[in-house]
Structure 1
Amino acid sequence: MEEAPEIKQTWQQKLLFYTTAFFVLLGTFSLFSFLFLVPFVIDPAFTTIFMEFDETPALCMTVKADRRLGVSNCSWTSCREGCTKDIYDCTQILVHYKKVPPDYNLTAPPDIRTPREERSIPEEYDYEKNISEEEQTTGLMGDDSEWYYREARLLPNVKGCGYPPMLNCSIFLKLYKEVGTNYTCYYSRVDPSMVISHLDMWQVYMNLVYAMAIPIPSFIVSVIYLAIAYFKIYNDDEETAPLEKNAEAMDIEGESGPDATPVQPASGGITPASEAFREDLASFGHHFKVAMVDEMSRDSFTEGVLSVSIGGNVGKTMTTSISTTGGPIADI
């Protein structure tokens, strides 16, 4: 049995295959990367923008740090390594904070100041005594009070979670959980009970742009190309391929068939002097003669049938005779 010849692909077919494979992979990775970035980058970035944090740093002081165990006791935590991690062991840091005027000289960097370092609050300030003597009220105090807000929740970012090495909760808690520690922080205009230790709005906007401007357009372009390729390019190829195969099969069958009849060339027309014309004329004359003989036979048969009258009043005898006149029937 003769093996079928190997079909070689053209460079257009190879280019179409690799292009389609590229866009399939691009669309798949774009979709999964976008789904991965939603909870870790996109959602925190939008939440940070919507919370409207004041970019002017405020002055915070830690007033309470409680460590709690159990899911029921951990409704929130100041720091959590892993945004999807269940909270069984939590440390809740509460701070007082107040606004500072624009020309206020913050001598320490905005990330952290400890009581032993240079302070904006006087050294002789007795934290424990003054806190106990102050009116035990929490919440928003306003600009007229010493503290703008009492016992606000301190978080490293708007979600209070992250992953090492970007965020190490052990280091964060060590820096901020000591009562009396004062440092700069950023409060939310939407929810003044929340303050964060770090804020970089430019980086927040850049993270949002990178997380959305790359995966979404890549996925849309991939879907558009695959739709065009499926409904236009590959569909046309599938419709054309059977017609070409059938045409090739008919050509091979017509050339190699045992009963193949040669086709008259189109250039040689039929003329009265041609052989084809004489053959057609002779065939037509033969068929015409046969038809005339059949017609004459039917007429002679009809004329030879005679009816005999019925004799008497009660005569019921009918006889018929067939004349044997000349014609084709007489010979039968």
Structure 2
Amino acid sequence: MADEEKLPIPPTLLEKLLFYTTASFVLLAIFSLFAFLFLVPFVIEPAFTTIFMQFDLNPALCVTAGVKHLVGTSNCSWASCREGCTKDLFECTQIRVNYKLGPDSNISATEYENLIRMDRAIREYEYENYDSSVDRAYPETAEEDGMDLPDALPTGLQGNDSEWYFTGARLFPNVKGCGYPPILNCTIFFGKYIKVGNNYTCYHSKVDPGIVITELDMWQNTLNLVYAIAIPVPSFFISVIYLTFAYFKIYNTEAESEQEPLQGDAEAMATGDDEKPITPGSDTFREDLACFGHELRLAIEKDKEGFESNSPPISNSASLSG
């Protein structure tokens, strides 16, 4: 007789709730970790760099002083703009600018406004060092072009008698000089700033005055940093804390409660006090049935032998009457 198939016990509402809660926290931990790793190079690290570079919130007046288009990884140590922050540079465009500080610094507000309103054509306003900006280079590239350093364009902080606060600064759209469309489009950036003599506002770094960026929003930069840290990091730690508690407390307690009946059955079998119901298909029922049949057969044979021994003998000869 075949064993009866045990039907699965349907999970209770509490078990379902525990399962879906645990699965949700597992997914939350995974997505939080990957989101944080993705945000580190694209949001968190640039935001911290922008803060550490201490860009002056008061915009300065910049003018494009020189442009170089280079080819080759050895020549492209930096680029004013590139779409993609991880790819290697084989072709780059470098924009150099001269800048003077804003109206709160060395120039008056009227002069600052007049410089902003002036025509951007270089011929209408002859800036210092612009006549030879195409034929001359900056010190870091003068030797590569076969020029002597005295013939190179001056770079760095200028004296009080100079028109500019800094000459030969490197221009970037942001602190990293890179980004991805549609936030950053290098074609639009170069079209706006690549022409020698163009005037525009810019922001210089107090830590490294040789770095100038065209866009600066410290409030948005700080907000992006807060969102990038305050959302994935606490979500990950909360998930880890719950999963640790569930593993050591909830699931461990359930496992112990399931093992207690099994241990009780083993002890009952060892002591012979098994009180499980005997079914017709069980091995115990078969053994008892076979034992009963054997005892019944022995009893029948014993009764038969006793009956034969007590019965009178039958005579085989026939008596004849006289």
Same fold (TM over 0.5): yes
Cα-to-partner distance string for 1:29-72 (whole Å, 9 max, x where unaligned):
00000000000000000000000000100000001011000001
Which residue matches 2:236? 219
2:259 aligned with 1:242: yes
Which residue matches 2:143? none
Q: Number of paired residues? A: 252
- How far apart are the structure 1 equivalents of 2:251 and 2:48? 42
2:7 aligned with 1:5: yes
Letter in 1 for 2:274: E
Which residue matches 1:210? 227
Which residue matches 2:168? 151
2:109 aligned with 1:104: yes
Which residue matches 1:126? 126
Q: Give the 5 Å matches for 1:56-71.
A: 56-71=58-73
Which residue matches 2:54? 52
Which residue matches 2:314? none
Q: TM-score, normalised by structure 1?
A: 0.70
- Conserved in 2, the CA contact under 8 Å of 1:142 and 1:149? no
- Conserved in 2, the CA contact under 8 Å of 1:26 and 1:219? yes
Change (3 A) 1:28 1:143: farther
Cα-to-partner distance string for 1:84-122 (whole Å, 9 max, x where unaligned):
0110110000000010223626659xxxx7xxx745999
Letter in 2 for 1:125: Y
Cα-to-partner distance string for 1:113-161 (whole Å, 9 max, x where unaligned):
7xxx745999842247765499942111145421000000000000000
Letter in 1 for 2:126: D
- Report the secondary structure of 2:92's partner residue: strand
- Conserved in 1, the CA contact under 8 Å of 2:53 and 2:205? yes
Displacement of 1:240 in angstroms is 1.0
- How far apart are the structure 2 equivalents of 1:205 and 1:45? 7
Change (3 A) 1:130 1:160: closer
Q: TM-score, normalised by structure 2?
A: 0.72
Which residue matches 1:292? none
Cα-to-partner distance string for 1:203-258 (whole Å, 9 max, x where unaligned):
00000000000000000000000111111111111111011344478599315367
- How far apart are the structure 1 equivalents of 2:123 and 2:109? 18
- Conserved in 2, the CA contact under 8 Å of 1:26 and 1:222? yes
CA RMSD of aligned residues (A): 2.8
- Report the secondary structure of 2:216's partner residue: coil
Change (3 A) 1:209 1:230: same
- How far apart are the structure 2 equivalents of 1:143 and 1:224? 61
Which residue matches 2:92? 90
Change (3 A) 1:76 1:168: same
- How far apart are the structure 1 equivalents of 2:202 and 2:76? 23
Which residue matches 1:300? none
- How far apart are the structure 1 equivalents of 2:157 and 2:58? 18
- In structure 2, which of residues 274, 277, 280 is the aligned counterpart of residue 256 of structure 1? 277
- Report the secondary structure of 1:94's partner residue: strand
Which has the higher mean CA deviation after the structures are superposed, 4-13 or 175-184?
4-13
Higher RCO structure (Cα 8 Å, ≥6 apart): 2
Letter in 1 for 2:163: E
Structure showing greater radius of gyration is 1
Q: Give the 5 Å matches for 1:242-321.
A: 242-247=259-264, 253-256=274-277
Which residue matches 1:198? 215
Change (3 A) 1:128 1:188: closer
Which residue matches 1:185? 202
Structure 2 gap ranges (5+) = 134-150, 279-283, 286-322
Letter in 2 for 1:195: V
Structure 1 gap ranges (5+) = 260-332
- How far apart are the structure 2 equivalents of 1:216 and 1:255? 54
Letter in 2 for 1:158: V
Change (3 A) 1:124 1:5: closer
